[in-house]
Chains A and B, each alone.
Chain A
Amino acid sequence: MLRLLSDRFLPNARRLSLVAASSALLALSAAPAHAELTIEISGAGANRIPLAIADFGGDTGVARALTSVIRGDLERSGMFRLIDPGSAPLNENSTPAWGDLRVKGADAIAAGSISGGGDGRMEARFRLNDVNRQAALGGAAFVTSTPMLRTAGHRIADVIYEKLTGEPGVFSTRIAYVVKGSGRYELHIADADGQNAQAALVSREPIISPAWSPDGTRLAYVSFENKKPVIFVHSLASGRRTAVANFRGSNSAPAWSPDGRRLAVVLSKEGGSQIFLLNADGSGVQRLATSPGIDTEPSFAPDGQSIYFTSDRGGSAQIYRIGVGGGEAQRISFEGSYNVTPRVSPDGRSLAFITRRDGSFRLAVMDLSSRQVQILTESRKDESPSFAPNGRMILVATEQGGRGVLSAVSIDGRIRQKLSIPAGDVREPAWGPFQR
């Protein structure tokens, strides 16, 4: 039987640098000086699941690339310990050498192959086996093509992750973030492993607060291209963008409702920074709350019934919750004098936010039922937390060596991945939804 994953981890620092191994075209795709994000991980579980992934069968180059995507994803997650699968060729139909695998300590083995037709189409198949029970745990086949090969690898890694941990994998999700160059700001979309980065928007003026629509096709964000903050909704496939909030004063902090129909935004059009709701096309503006000071950073709870936000109504910046119909706001954060940027976990049970402690800004998580707070990092300058859609990791912007990097931190703080761009300044991460 596979062991259940323990939540006890030992500090086991490792370093793994994954650089673009795919085509030269992809390496050039991020137009300016910056190449792709590179990932370094540190910390991992003491009870990582021992897993062997055999080299995929089929055309050597393609199979090797596919195998390396799958192994990279699973290893980086910090949830698995990769075991040498041995050198005997193995695919989804052959019987693994159970005895050898057991001796090596593998609990599970994945094996598969990739085959191509003449039309450029390929099919990747694999099977995941439980070594101790000598039985199949599952398998799948994905139709793919050369440009989509990495995506097929991520899908396979997602299946393996889910079968072995019981939670859906996020390897085939995407992330958005902003890269600042000299006098140039770019909103990038990349795969969750930092590869395939593409610029969705290039501007001379800042871009902040990107937020994915729940269906993953659009981003809302704040652009300063008109010398003031204006909220746009941007369809990624077409590049079509609409200024959905361009009122007198400042327009900022967009957050999608879980059904993708509405946005909570912050407008100063009626004086002060106050939270309003509007339809995703910019119509139907209505005020949510009224406070004498600042209300900002709204974030919907996953049930769509309440909104968490930051306010200084009590004298310092704290987190509050209000119903989508308005009414009385309830204060949520109490420890410390600066708690900002609330983001509710996908299961609605916890809240990621940034807290100031001893002059440093750190990522923290609150259990919403017990109100227990755990500080997850020892950073000086964390900002803009964003949950992975499976709720397992939080992506956050931080600073290292004077420049912006992204960090993915497990919700228990024990596994960390750093995503950086050589000589680039990366900020404002937003983890996209599951791909449907």
Chain B
Amino acid sequence: MNRLQVRTPFAAPLTLSAIVLAAFVAGCSSSPTGPEQNGAPVESRNAVTPVIAGDVQGRGLPAVLTDPKSILSKRSVFFDYDKYEVKPEYKELVAAHAKFLADNRQFKILIQGNTDDRGSREYNLALGQKRADALKKMLVLLGAREDQVESVSLGEEKPRNEGHDEAAWAENRRADILYSGEF
């Protein structure tokens, strides 16, 4: 199912907000009519209850995916400006991941596409999706099963390099591969 209900308790730094909320709620309880004149009420404003979004825990992965000497520890594919095709130099890397997925059908991956921060956030989200989709398509062509690979986009929201120059932008035009347990 695609529904999920989350309700989390306040974290420590927010307890002051909770006090303010209590004050708001108290303020809202006043009777809506004035004694002498029929004053219109200042309507009870809806108070805001703060929520803390949950965290995701990682699990251990086989060494072949994390050992720096293994090609499978390399998880990033970089793209040219305004381009969405996987460049030939990444063929070996993508083929290695495709083979690992073909040999280990219990594994799933998440591909996160990214962009630089120029332009609309939502449009960049769509551009990052194009990069993630291109990488997914290549992985599937090289042997991964479609249901092992989910392609998503982080758009410009999670830059690896926070700078605003060409070098930073190049680092952020990227798709990353995350294995089960890393997302």
Give A residues with C-beta under 8 Å from B. Answer: 25-26, 28-32, 117, 120-121, 123-125, 140-148, 151-152, 155, 174, 189, 198-206, 208-209, 216-217, 222-229, 234, 236-250, 252-253, 266, 268, 271-273, 282, 294, 296-297, 310, 317, 338, 340-341, 354, 356, 361, 383-384, 428, 435-436
A203-B52, A341-B120 given; name 7 further pairs at CB < 8 Å.
A143-B41, A147-B23, A199-B14, A228-B183, A294-B130, A297-B120, A383-B120
List the B residue with the shortest CB-CB distance to A190. B48
Among B5, B11, B13, B46, which residue has its beta carbon within 8 angstroms of that of A240?
B5
A338-B129 contact, Cβ under 8 Å, with A224-B154, A224-B158, A240-B7 = no
A26-B40 contact, Cβ under 8 Å, with A228-B112, A250-B153, A296-B126 = no
Top 3 A-B pairs, shortest CB-CB distance: A239-B49, A141-B39, A147-B27
Bound Cα distance from A428 to B125, whole angstroms: 14
Judge if B19 is at the interface, Cβ distance under 8 Å. yes
Bound Cα distance from A224 to B125, whole angstroms: 12
Bound Cα distance from A182 to B41, whole angstroms: 41
Instruction: Report whether A29 and B151 are in contact in the complex, using a CB–CB cutoff of 8 Å.
Output: no
Instruction: Report whether A227 and B16 are in contact in the complex, using a CB–CB cutoff of 8 Å.
Output: no
Instruction: Report whether B42 and A142 are in contact in the complex, using a CB–CB cutoff of 8 Å.
Output: yes
Bound Cα distance from A26 to B16, whole angstroms: 9
A237-B49 contact, Cβ under 8 Å, with A29-B20, A228-B152, A268-B153 = yes
How many residues on chain B are close to A (CB under 8 Å)?
A: 69
Instruction: Report whether B133 and A271 are in contact in the complex, using a CB–CB cutoff of 8 Å.
Output: yes
Total CB contacts across the A-B interface at under 8 A: 246
A143-B42 contact, Cβ under 8 Å, with A199-B14, A204-B55 = yes
List the B residue with the shortest CB-CB distance to A248. B150
Instruction: Report whether B35 and A296 are in contact in the complex, using a CB–CB cutoff of 8 Å.
Output: no
Judge if B60 is at the interface, Cβ distance under 8 Å. no
Instruction: Report whether A338 and B119 are in contact in the complex, using a CB–CB cutoff of 8 Å.
Output: yes
Judge if B4 is at the interface, Cβ distance under 8 Å. yes
Instruction: Report whether A252 and B53 are in contact in the complex, using a CB–CB cutoff of 8 Å.
Output: no
Instruction: Report whether B16 and A28 are in contact in the complex, using a CB–CB cutoff of 8 Å.
Output: yes
Instruction: Report whether B120 and A354 are in contact in the complex, using a CB–CB cutoff of 8 Å.
Output: yes
